[in-house]
């Protein structure tokens, strides 16, 4: 009996051993568990999993970097130096050096900081601030003037830059006027917390009323309805200015009404002009036709590049070509180099009869592979083509990039779906490559199915190009089938997908959009229901055929509702209701509609989708239609038409 039971147990164990052996985690699983331990800040678990992976693993440097990063506060300097020496020139070495420099700056260990700084490759604002502090510590007077530039960053500053600002303030580098200028800038950009921090730099005699400031930030309308009786004191008057800035961001028309009333008259002329500039900017971004008139009441010399850009856009919608020129003329040299403003300045000159002047501006950008480069070529009487020949890498060039350690690590990280780390590694590895190396790296990514890296890498070439890789069309049979079934232009669909996901099938945005066509869950569900797909389940949404079917189905619905591919492109990114509201009271040239889209992301998106469409049409043998003709005219808003978001 006992012997029979023993045999039974032995048999069960024999059966269980293979199952136990198969349950042992693979090297991939162990590495991913190590990555999770790092993200959780657990050095003990990280060390255990790292030991299981082993030092011979291709990604072993990541395990070591993670371990050192978690222990950096303990100061294992010999280990840090050993890693930096061993991995010198790599992405991880540069990242660890940046981490270490920030720690050295925080500790004010300037000798060690300045010894390590020259070897840093990637620029970092906080490290720049610590570098200025290091120079100030050894009484380098020029650092103070150089560092003033950070004072006008319209955002919360990193810790090292706050330390620098405090030091400069203690040294008397900032006047009262400088402090108020920064506070206004931050409030104008919606950075109330950063503005409160900047106010701490005011001298005691100029201190503000904290209760008034809180009211200006949280209830500007209440403060403006019952403003302080005395506005002679700067700190009190500024609270009214800040309240008007806050109001202008949410309701520029209400801010304008205040400026035109008794309260506005109580402010100094300089403050009034400043506020008119901000109200005009906010009004222009909301496509208010009165914005151009508001800009006329501002101090044009005080407008920044972003305000001038919207002054120009307001003028475009009003067909005021002289105002377009005036706005562009006032921009900084760097801003004027933007292809948009070269093109529109040329158009303004042409509209005013200066044909040769217009031609000179078009020649500046004609040939550039972008929306305005294509339009400029058409203004010159041509139509931009796809550059040939298509330079393909040699076998030797492919072998050379395949041996690049950074690219190898990136490919392995992509295989493990650690896309953030992989992309950073890849971008670092290709940063100094020439055209031949870039095209070889792009081909390496294409063969691995990492289409976003293939496209973005090929997109960086300056002289040798391969537009078949820049404008890849994987899964073409799927797009071809869906374009035929929906009646959509295949080149347009490909152009949109290139912008949405770069053809990464499992792409997921921070907002939750999924797949090649970046479908939001509600949109996918809506289209599936309308299309009668009873078997639809959210877990299947990244399947290529289903994702493209749902995405093109939605795009077709939007196109049918709005009637124009430019509007449909805008709607795909920002919603049909917004795309309709962005039209004018009069018909608008398509290029003007695109340039005056209020959302920066959508404006850039629409231009790129339309430019992509042009290139895909040539590459896949589609219909060759000039971009200007594709853009056409956007019809005016109809009186009383609905503007709600009918589609998700």
Which residues are part of the catalytic machinery? 500
Report the alpha-carbon distance of residue 606 to residue 594 in Å, rounded. 7
Question: Where do we find the tokens 């981490």?
Answer: 99
Long-range contacts of 575-583 (CB under 8 A, 24+ apart): 575/645, 575/647, 576/645, 576/646, 576/647, 577/643, 577/644, 577/645, 577/646, 578/602, 578/645, 580/637, 580/641, 580/643, 581/287, 581/637, 581/643, 582/287, 583/634, 583/635, 583/636, 583/637
Report the alpha-carbon distance of residue 499 to residue 558 in Å, rounded. 18
Burial of 12 (C-beta count, 10 Å sphere; 0-12/13-18/19+):
exposed
Report the alpha-carbon distance of residue 335 to residue 179 in Å, rounded. 26
Residue 286 near residue 317 (C-beta atoms within 8 A) = no
Terminal alpha carbon distance of the chain: 71
The DSSP H or E segment spanning 178 is helix 176-188
Residue 196 near residue 213 (C-beta atoms within 8 A) = yes
Query: Six-digit token pair at 443?
Result: 């081909």
Residue 294 near residue 323 (C-beta atoms within 8 A) = no
Question: Where do we find the tokens 């147990």?
Answer: 9
Hey, is 180 helix, strand or coil?
A: helix
Give the rounded distance of the alpha carbon of 363 from its chain centre.
29
Secondary structure letter of residue 543 according to DSSP: S
Q: Residues of 202-230 as b/e, b for ≥16 C-beta within 10 angstroms?
A: beeeeebeeebbebbbeebeebbeebeee
Residues 6+ apart with CB under 8 A from 406: 90, 91, 425, 426, 428, 429
Residue 442 near residue 451 (C-beta atoms within 8 A) = no
Report the alpha-carbon distance of residue 191 to residue 189 in Å, rounded. 6
Number of neighbours of residue 71 by Cβ within 10 angstroms: 15
* Sign of the CA dihedral running 141, 186, 604, 439: positive
Report the alpha-carbon distance of residue 485 to residue 567 in Å, rounded. 21
Question: Where do we find the tokens 């997109």?
Answer: 459
Report the alpha-carbon distance of residue 260 to residue 242 in Å, rounded. 17
39: nearest Cα among 66, 9, 60? 66
Report the alpha-carbon distance of residue 339 to residue 408 in Å, rounded. 36
Residue 245 near residue 276 (C-beta atoms within 8 A) = no
Burial of 39 (C-beta count, 10 Å sphere; 0-12/13-18/19+):
exposed
């Amino acid at each position: 009996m006992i012997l029979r039971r023993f045999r039974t147990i032995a048999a069960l164990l024999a059966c269980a051993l293979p199952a136990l052996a198969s349950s042992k985690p693979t090297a991939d699983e162990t590495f991913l568990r190590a990555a999770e331990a790092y993200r959780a800040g657990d050095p003990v678990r990280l060390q255990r999993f790292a030991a299981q992976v082993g030092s011979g693993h291709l990604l072993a440097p990541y395990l070591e970097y993670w371990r050192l990063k978690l222990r950096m506060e303990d100061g294992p300097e010999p280990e840090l130096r050993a890693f930096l020496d061993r991995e010198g020139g790599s992405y991880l070495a540069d990242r660890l050096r940046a981490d270490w420099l920030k720690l050295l700056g925080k500790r004010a260990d300037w000798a060690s900081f300045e010894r390590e700084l020259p070897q840093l490759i990637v620029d970092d604002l906080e490290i720049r601030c610590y570098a200025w502090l290091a120079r100030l510590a050894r009484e380098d007077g020029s650092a103070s003037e150089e560092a003033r530039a950070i004072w006008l960053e319209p955002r919360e500053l990193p810790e090292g830059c706050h330390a620098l600002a405090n030091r400069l303030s203690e040294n008397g580098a900032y006047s009262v006027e400088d402090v108020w200028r920064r506070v206004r800038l931050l409030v104008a950009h919606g950075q109330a917390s950063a503005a409160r921090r900047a106010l701490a730099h005011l001298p005691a005699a100029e201190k503000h009323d904290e209760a008034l400031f809180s009211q200006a930030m949280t209830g500007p309308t209440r403060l403006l309805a019952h403003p302080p009786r005395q506005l002679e004191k700067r700190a009190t008057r500024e609270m009214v200015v800040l309240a008007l800035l806050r109001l202008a961001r949410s309701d520029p028309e209400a801010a304008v009404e205040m400026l035109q009333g008794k309260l506005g008259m109580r402010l100094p002329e300089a403050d009034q002009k400043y506020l008119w500039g901000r109200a005009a900017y906010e009004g222009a971004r909301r496509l208010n036709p009165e914005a151009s008139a508001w800009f006329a009441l501002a101090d044009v010399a005080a407008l920044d590049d972003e305000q001038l850009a919207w002054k120009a856009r307001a003028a475009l919608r009003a067909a005021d070509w002289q105002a377009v020129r005036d706005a562009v003329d006032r921009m900084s040299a760097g801003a004027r180099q933007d292809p948009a403003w070269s093109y529109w300045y040329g158009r303004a000159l042409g509209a005013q009869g200066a044909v040769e002047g217009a031609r000179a501006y078009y020649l500046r950008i004609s040939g550039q592979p972008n929306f305005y480069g294509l339009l400029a070529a058409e203004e010159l009487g041509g139509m931009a083509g796809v550059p040939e020949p298509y330079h393909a890498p040699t076998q030797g060039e492919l072998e050379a990039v395949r041996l690049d350690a950074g690219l190898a690590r990136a490919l392995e990280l992509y295989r493990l779906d650690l896309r953030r780390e992989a992309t950073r590694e890849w971008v670092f590895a290709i940063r100094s490559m020439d055209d031949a190396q870039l095209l070889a790296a792009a081909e390496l990514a294409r063969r691995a199915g990492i289409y976003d890296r293939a496209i973005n890498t090929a997109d960086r070439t300056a002289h040798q190009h391969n537009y078949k890789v820049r404008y890849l069309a994987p899964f073409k049979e799927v797009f071809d089938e869906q374009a035929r079934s929906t009646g959509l232009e295949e080149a347009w669909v490909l152009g949109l997908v290139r912008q949405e996901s770069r053809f990464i099938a499992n792409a997921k945005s921070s907002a939750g959009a999924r797949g090649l066509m970046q479908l939001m869950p509600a949109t996918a569900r809506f289209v599936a229901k309308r299309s009668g797909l009873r078997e639809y389940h959210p877990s299947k949404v990244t399947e290529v055929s289903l994702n493209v079917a749902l995405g093109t189905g939605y795009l077709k619905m939007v196109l049918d509702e709005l009637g124009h591919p430019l509007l449909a492109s805008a709607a795909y990114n920002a919603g049909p209701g917004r795309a309709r509201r962005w039209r004018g009271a009069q018909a608008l040239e398509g290029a003007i509609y695109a340039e005056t889209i209020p959302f920066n992301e959508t404006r850039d998106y629409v231009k790129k989708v339309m430019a992509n469409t042009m290139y895909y049409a040539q590459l896949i043998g589609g219909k060759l239609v000039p971009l200007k003709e594709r853009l056409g005219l956007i019809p005016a808003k109809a009186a009383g038409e609905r503007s709600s978001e009918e589609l998700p």
